[in-house]
Amino acid sequence: MDYILPVLVFATIGAVAGILLTVVSKIFEVKTDERLEMLQETLPNINCGACGYSGCGDYAQAVLGGEDCNLCKPGGENVVKKLSSIMDVEEKKSEIVKAFVKCGGDCNVTAKKYVYKGIQSCRASNQFYSGSKVCTNGCLGFGDCVNVCPEGAICIDNEIAVINPIKCVGCGLCVKTCPNNLIVIRPEHQNVEVVCSSTDIGKVTRAICRNGCIGCKMCERKCPVNAIKVENNFAIIDYSKCTNCGECVEACKFGVIKKSSI
């Protein structure tokens, strides 16, 4: 029976390997709290940074260390519920936030300075006399935000970025990518917004874009809680005071202030 010996030799190799592995993994075991893996699984892992940490991994560590569980904006309700159930901490309400674009200058209301044939990206076209549109701080329309959005909630339609409120999870990646900082993250229920951020004086804005805010201060006078003020030629709403009454929407003759439906 000369083949019993090789089988025995192989059995010993297997045994030695098994014992070695278990012993080594016992000695060199890195103590990881298994809740960490569960936390990491529940988080959406798009590393958007909306929770203020550099990525989902770091946020999971922080939650393990006691951070509260409702900072993950993209995750929304169920992530908050799961996180707090894992950490068995009572669940805090997390307000839903959405992204809004503060520019209304699409291709039928504003003109182009030149035809841009370079690399199709907002940041690149912004280097050449700040974009191909006549309005220098309007939406450049090349879709950097579209590339970055993990949920695919933004699309470019007639050369302006439009955000689909249902798909948007409020992660804030588009805010960082927009070279003209036109996108703002705001709680969902405050849906009155000034759809322009042009710093040119009234006469110039009037000439280049029909949807532009000329800084006529009509809305400032009409607002019951004077939550709206014109600063460097365009109106800005202070959302801590704003009560969503919509007075300013009617006051604005050019329809620059809009109330978006939820």
Partner 1 sequence: MKIKDKVLPPVVLTIICIVISALVIGVHKLTYVDSTGVLTDKLKSGYKDIFGKDSSCIMLTEDNEGVTEVVTYNEAITSILVDKENNTCAFEFIADGYQKEGIHLLVGIDEKGEIQGISFIEVGETKGIGTKIQENSFVKKFLNITTANEADKIDDITGATYSSKGMKDAVKLAVSTYTENKEAIFSE
Partner 2 sequence: MSNSIKPKEKNQPSYFKEFSKGIIKENPTLVSLLGMCPTLAITNLASNAIGMGLATTFVLVCSNFVLSLLKNAIPKTVRLPCFIVIIAGFVTVVELLMKSYIPSLYSALGIFLPLITVNCIILGRAEAFASKNKVIPSILDGLGMGIGFTLALFAMGSIREIIGSGQWFGLQVLPKSVDNMMIFIMPAGGFFVLGCIIALVNKIANKKPPKEIGCSGCPHFSSCTMIENEENKSDCSKTAKEAN
Partner 3 sequence: MIKNLIIIMITAVLVDNVVLSQFKGICPFLGVSKKIKNSLGMGLAVIFVMVCATLVTYPVYKFLLIPLEVDYLKTIAFILVIALFVQIVEIILKKMIPPLYKALGIYLPLITTNCAVLGVTISNIDHQYTLVQSLVNAFGTGLAFTLALLLFSGVRSKIEYADIPETFKGVPATLIAAAIVSLSFMGFSGLFA
* From partner 2, partner 1, partner 3, none, interface partner of 162 (C-beta below 5 to 8 A by class): none
Nearest approach in angstroms of CB 119 to partner 3 is 10
Q: Measured from the CB atom, is 12 or 85 closer to partner 1?
A: 12
Nearest approach in angstroms of CB 29 to partner 1 is 12
15-34 binders of partner 1 (CB under 8 A): 15, 17-19, 21-22, 26
Nearest approach in angstroms of CB 33 to partner 1 is 18
Query: 138 to each of 26, 49, 191, how far by Cα in Å?
Result: 60, 26, 20
* Contact predicate 187/95, CB 8 Å: yes
User: Applying CB under 8 A, which part among 61-69, 109-117, 170-178, 249-257 lies near partner 2?
Assistant: 170-178
Q: Measured from the CB atom, is 16 or 107 closer to partner 3?
A: 16
18: contact with partner 2 by CB under 8 A? yes
- Residue 53 tokens read as 């940490």
58: contact with partner 2 by CB under 8 A? no
- Residues lying near partner 1 in the complex (CB under 8 A): 3, 6-7, 10-11, 13-15, 17-19, 21-22, 26
Residues making contact with partner 2 (CB under 8 A) = 14, 17-18, 21-22, 25, 46-47, 119-121, 123-124, 127, 144, 147-152, 173, 176-177
